[in-house]
Chain A
Amino acid sequence: MATYKLQINGKSLQVSADPDTPLLWVLRDHLGLLGTKYGCGISACGACTVHMDGQALRSCTLPVSAIGTSKIITIEGLSENGDHPVQLAWDEVDVPQCGYCQAGQIMTAAAFLKNNPKPTTEQIDSAMHGNICRCGAYHRIREAVKLASAKI
C-alpha cells in the first residue's frame, strides 16, 4: 500500500492503494467514480477511456504509481453540467442502447475533437476504432461525433 495524491477532475484527491492498481479500479473502488467502465482489462475495448493531460487513455492498464501529477479527467469531470458538446450530441442523436461503452466512447471522441475539431469521416472512424460497442450503435456514434464537431 502506498499513498498517492492524484489530480482528478480538477481536484486533488488522496488514495491509498497498491502501486500496481490500475487507475480504473482506483477510480471505481477507491474514489467511487463509477462512470469509467471495466470491459476487458487489457486495453482492447475502450470502455475505461479517460483523459490524461488531455489525451485519451485506457485506465484499465495504467498503474496508479505511473500517474504522478498528470491531470486526469473522467466522464464525471468532462463538463460541469453534462453539457459538453459531445455529451449533448450523444443525447440529441439518441446514441445509447445499453449504454455501457458510451462513457468510453464519449471520452475518446472528446479528446479527438479537441485535437481535430473538424475531422473527416475517415478520421472519425480511425479515432473511434478502438472502442467496441456490442450493441452496434456505430452509425449513431459517428453521427454524434459529426454533430459535436459542427457545434465546437
Chain B
Amino acid sequence: MGFEWFSADAETNTIINASNLAEGSVNLNGYLSIAADNTITIFSPNPEVGQNIKTSFPTIIAEELDADWTKVKVVQAAFDNKRFERQVTGGSGATPASYKKLRKTGATARQMLVEAAAKQWNVPASECSTENGFVLHSSGKKLSYGELASEAAKLPVPQEVKLKDRKDFKLIGKKVRNVENKNIATGKPLFGLDFYREGMLFAMIQRPEAFGMKLKSVDSAAAKAMPGIIDVVSFKNNVAVVGKSTWQIMKARKALKVTYEKDKDLESSADHSRIFTELMAKSEATIRRKDGDADAAFASAAKVIKSEYECPFLPHNPMEPMNFFAHVKEDSVELVGPTQNPGSARNAVSKLLGIPDSKISLELTRMGGGFGRRLMDDYVLEAAELSSILKAPVKVIWSREDDMSGGYYRPAVRYHFEAALDASNNLIGYKLRGAGINSGNSTRENNFPAGAVDNLLIESVEHKSPISTAPWRAPITNFLAFAEQSFLDEVALAAGKDQVQFRLELLNKARTAPVGRVGYDVSRMEGVIKLAAEKANWGGKKDTAQGFSVYFSHASYVAIVAEASVKNNKPQINKIYAATDCGEVVSPMGARQQVIGGIVDGYGHAMFGKLSFKNGAPEQNNYNKYRLIRMREVPEVEAHFVDNGLDPTGLGEPSLPPTAGAVANAIFKATGKRIKNQPFIDEAPFKVKAI
C-alpha cells in the first residue's frame, strides 16, 4: 500500500510502576526511562478512552527524542499531578494542551544524550546528531541511547532546546499503529472491569428506580441468605449487595425488597414537552449575546423565517459499564479503575472520607469508552464509601441496566430560531433561544453565524430537573450544531441561495465587516467548507441529494457533505464526506478513527437515540429497547484533512456536531421533508410505507 508502518507495544500489565522497569533503567524525566538494552519506556499520563492518547502522546515524545519506535514500551502512568499536567480526558483538549510540553520533553532528553556522547568523545555537541536511538558523530562514531542514559541523567537539564522542523518528522504525521492493538486482540486484561485483587469483594448497588424518589425501607433477609452473599449495606439512597462473585450478587439483588418514596417531581417526557413550551414563552431569559438591534431588524424585514428543533435525553452507553475498585485502609486509600477525570475523582474521595489527597493513590485502567460519563465521580465515590463501610477491598460493578437508567444524560433541549432577510435576501437579523433541562447554557453564543449578522440576540432558559445530566461527547454542540445547521439550510432556501455560497457570504461578512467578537477563524472555516465541497463535488452530482453542514468546536473545524437518495420510498444516506482542520495531524490513523467514529456516533444517535421518561424512570434500559447503530446501518465515510502545520487542536469531538445537520439537510433535499427532531427514524421522512 506504500504506507509507512510503525509498531510499538504497550506493556500488557494493567498496572505498571517504576518497579516493573527493566534493570538498569534510567529516568531522564517524568515521562521516560531508558534501559541499557535500548528499550525506552514512555509513561503516558492521560486516561485512555479510545481517543488513541496512549499512542499519540508517546509518538510526540519519541519524535523529538529520535527514538527507535520499535524499542518503545508504553506504560500508563498513575494519576500524579506533581509529575504531569492536565490528566483529563475531556474537551478534546489533551493534545492541544500538551503538544509543546511533550515535544520539549523529548527534545530535552535528546539534548542530554547528545551532550553525554559529546563529553565522552571530547567533541563539541554541535558535531553530533541523532538517529533512531543513537547519537552519531561526524567521524562515524556512534553510541546507543542505552549506553549513554546513565551519564546523560547526571547532566544539568537544558532550559532551551531546539524543536524539530516538521519536514523532519519521522513519526508525527506517519502511520503509527495503536500500541495496544495486540493486547486488545488477544484479550489481555486492560480495563477497569478486568482489575481483580486477591480478597476483593464484589458489589452491585440498587439505586432508586426513578429520578425524584428516595429510599424508604429495605428488607434484605432473603438476599443475605443467598449463596456467596457477604452483606447488604445501605448508604445514602443506595442498597449495596456485597458478595464473592458477580453472578451471585446479580442474583441476590433481585431478592431485595426495597421501597422508595417520592422526594421530588417525577417527570415524564410529556412534562418536558410542556416545560419547553413554557420556557419558550417566558418573558425573562439569560441574554448570552446581543449585537445591534434584533427587534428593529425583524420589524423592517422583507422575510422572516421561524423554526424549532428538539432533542431527547441520551445515555452515554460506553460498552464497559461503570465500575471502580477501592480499598480504604486505616490511613490511606487505593483507587483503581476507569475515569476520565482522576484529579476530580481523587478530590471527591478525599472530601468524602476526610483523608488528604496525598494519602490517596489512583491507578488508571484503560476505559471501555466514556463519552463524558466517566467525567463524573459518582461511581468512584460509591466504591470508596462502600470500602470504608466494609473495611475491605471492593469493586463496585454496574449492570447495563444500571448504566442506562441510573446515570447522567445528555440534556434534552429545544431551540427556537428566527431569521430576518431584507429585500435583497441578506441576513439582517438572527435570534436563538435555547431551552434546556439541566443544560446550563444551551447555546454557544460566539459560534458562527455570530459575528456575521448585524442584529443578533442569543439567549437561554433552563429548567432544573431531578434527572441528572452530564457532558456528553461534544456537550451542547452535539445537538445545537444540528439545529443551527438545519436552520441555516432553511434560511438559505428562503433566500434562494446555494447552501455553501450562503455560508461563504456570511463568512466574508465576518471578515470584512465583523460584528462584535468573532470566536472562530474565518479563513480556516472557509478552508474546510471549500475542501468538503470540492471532495464531494458539491452541486455537481445528478442522482444524489447533497446536504451541507460546517461547525467549529473544540478549536477545530469540520465541514460535512452527506449524500442521500430515496429507496423503497424511504431516504437513505449513502455517503458522508468530511473535511477537517485540526492543525497538525499527530497520528493520521488515530485521527481518521476519531473523525469517522465521531461521524458514526453523531449519525447513529441522530437516527436512533432516544431515552424517554415515565414518572421519573427511563423507559429504555438495555440494548433490546435502546437502539445503537450497527454495522449494516453505517454509510460510507470519506475523511479529508487540511495540511497546514498549525499547532494541533481538538479531535475527539469536532466531527460529531456537524454530522446530523448535513444528513438532515440531505434528507430534506431528497424528500422535501424537513427533520426537526431526533431521533430521525420517528420523523416524517421515515414514517412512510415502504414500496
Q: For the complex, is B631 an interface residue (Cβ under 8 Å from A)?
A: yes
Q: Is the CB of B634 within 8 A of A136?
A: yes
Q: Is the CB of B631 within 8 A of A142?
A: yes
For B601, the chain A residues whose CB sits under 8 A away are: 134-136
Q: Mark B356-377, 1 if CB is under 8 A from A, else 0.
A: 0000000000111111000000
Interface centre among A20, A37, A47, A134 (most CB of B within 10 A): A134
Q: Is the CB of A137 within 8 A of B597?
A: yes
Chain A proximity of B458: nearest CB distance (Å): 31
Cα distance, A137 to B178, chains bound together (Å): 14
For B50, the chain A residues whose CB sits under 8 A away are: 96-99, 135
Cα distance, A42 to B401, chains bound together (Å): 10
Q: Is the CB of B184 within 8 A of A132?
A: no
For A103, the chain B residues whose CB sits under 8 A away are: 184-185, 187
Q: A106-B185, A136-B604 are in contact. Are A96 and B247 (CB under 8 A)?
A: no
Q: Is the CB of B187 within 8 A of A35?
A: yes
Q: Is the CB of B399 within 8 A of A97?
A: no
Q: For the complex, is A21 an interface residue (Cβ under 8 Å from B)?
A: yes
For A28, the chain B residues whose CB sits under 8 A away are: 246
Q: Is the CB of B193 within 8 A of A44?
A: no
For chain B, residues 175 to 208, give those with C-beta under 8 angstroms from any C-beta of chain A.
177-178, 180-182, 184-191, 193-194, 196, 202
Cα distance, A99 to B430, chains bound together (Å): 44
Residue of B nearest to A104 (CB): B319
Q: Mark B239-268, 1 if CB is under 8 A from A, else 0.
A: 000000111101100000000000000000
Contact of A22 among B247, B370, B600 (CB under 8 A): B247
Residue of A nearest to B194 (CB): A34
Cα distance, A102 to B599, chains bound together (Å): 20
Q: Is the CB of B319 within 8 A of A101?
A: yes
B: number of interface residues (CB 8 Å) = 63
Contact of A87 among B185, B247, B317 (CB under 8 A): B185
Contact of A97 among B190, B593, B632 (CB under 8 A): B593
Cα distance, A39 to B191, chains bound together (Å): 13
Residue of B nearest to A82 (CB): B186
Chain A proximity of B513: nearest CB distance (Å): 40
Cα distance, A139 to B604, chains bound together (Å): 14
Residue of B nearest to A81 (CB): B186
Contact of B181 among A41, A90, A128, A139 (CB under 8 A): A90
Q: For the complex, is A94 an interface residue (Cβ under 8 Å from B)?
A: yes
Q: Is the CB of B185 within 8 A of A138?
A: no
Cα distance, A96 to B193, chains bound together (Å): 18
Contact of B623 among A20, A44, A133 (CB under 8 A): A44
Q: Is the CB of B185 within 8 A of A29?
A: no
A: number of interface residues (CB 8 Å) = 61
Q: Is the CB of B227 within 8 A of A1?
A: yes
Q: A47-B319, A97-B593, A134-B319 are in contact. Are A126 and B193 (CB under 8 A)?
A: no
Q: Mark A20-44, 1 if CB is under 8 A from B, else 0.
A: 1110010011101111111111101
Q: Is the CB of B600 within 8 A of A136?
A: yes
For A94, the chain B residues whose CB sits under 8 A away are: 177-178, 181, 589, 593
For A53, the chain B residues whose CB sits under 8 A away are: none
Cα distance, A98 to B320, chains bound together (Å): 9
Chain B proximity of A64: nearest CB distance (Å): 9
Residue of B nearest to A39 (CB): B319
For B194, the chain A residues whose CB sits under 8 A away are: 34
Contact of B184 among A21, A42, A102, A136 (CB under 8 A): A102
For B248, the chain A residues whose CB sits under 8 A away are: 18
Q: For the complex, is B49 an interface residue (Cβ under 8 Å from A)?
A: yes
Q: Is the CB of B366 within 8 A of A98?
A: yes
Cα distance, A134 to B368, chains bound together (Å): 9
Q: Is the CB of A136 within 8 A of B624?
A: no
Q: Mark B40-53, 1 if CB is under 8 A from A, else 0.
A: 00000000011110
Chain B proximity of A129: nearest CB distance (Å): 5
Q: Is the CB of A44 within 8 A of B622?
A: yes
Cα distance, A74 to B243, chains bound together (Å): 26
For chain B, residues 620 to 652, give those with C-beta under 8 angstroms from any C-beta of chain A.
622-624, 628-632, 634, 636-637
Q: A35-B188, A125-B632 are in contact. Are A132 and B246 (CB under 8 A)?
A: no
Q: For the complex, is B93 an interface residue (Cβ under 8 Å from A)?
A: no
For B246, the chain A residues whose CB sits under 8 A away are: 25, 28-29, 38
Q: Is the CB of B187 within 8 A of A29?
A: no
Cα distance, A97 to B596, chains bound together (Å): 11
Q: Is the CB of A99 within 8 A of B597?
A: no
Contact of B593 among A35, A78, A129, A137 (CB under 8 A): A137
For A42, the chain B residues whose CB sits under 8 A away are: 400, 622-624
Which residues of B approach A to under 8 Å, CB–CB? 7, 49-52, 177-178, 180-182, 184-191, 193-194, 196, 202, 227-228, 245-248, 250-251, 317-321, 366-371, 399-400, 589, 593, 596-601, 604, 622-624, 628-632, 634, 636-637
Other 8 A-B pairs with CB < 8 A, given A39-B320, A76-B187: A20-B251, A25-B245, A29-B245, A30-B245, A45-B623, A98-B318, A98-B367, A140-B593
What are 16 A-B contacts with C-beta separation under 8 Å? A18-B251, A25-B247, A34-B194, A41-B250, A41-B622, A42-B400, A91-B177, A96-B50, A96-B185, A98-B49, A99-B50, A100-B368, A103-B187, A132-B630, A134-B628, A136-B629
Which residues of A approach B to under 8 Å, CB–CB? 1, 17-18, 20-22, 25, 28-30, 32-42, 44-45, 47, 74-76, 78, 82, 87, 90-91, 94-103, 106, 124-126, 128-142
